[in-house]
Structure 1
């Protein structure tokens, strides 16, 4: 369980960067696709380079979940920041 959670946390920045790189209009599914592709590449390279390493579907799942969480966190922060900035810019009544 600890390894699964560590894999989730390690891929949160990948999802956050993916959403920032692709722009606000990109959906979380793009971060999921990028996280899955990146994770698959890492798992494949590890399986080829390290004789005792076996690719694990749970790692792919955890890494992809981390990417999605990172993208959702960035999306939430951007929406919250945009909403509060627009309230500050409004003239006060009276």
Structure 2
């Protein structure tokens, strides 16, 4: 399985979940978000990052929110049960 992130400018990062069956909050913050933020800032160092995430437990965990706040990533929450906002 892989996790992929795209922005309106295109593909940013694809990260494999090596030997892992689920996305945990620890994996999400220590591997995925670090890679994502690094890659995004290489492309647009001066631009702010607004992350629209769904309500998965790894995305809403307290340590995830704290990490993203420390990295100056703005969070755009996803309303629960809103299929109109999920393009996939």
| TM-score normalised by the chain length of structure 2 | 0.33
Q: Which has the higher helix share?
A: 1
Report the structure number with the largest CA radius of gyration: 1
> More relative contact order in 1 or in 2 (CA 8 Å, sep 6+)?
1
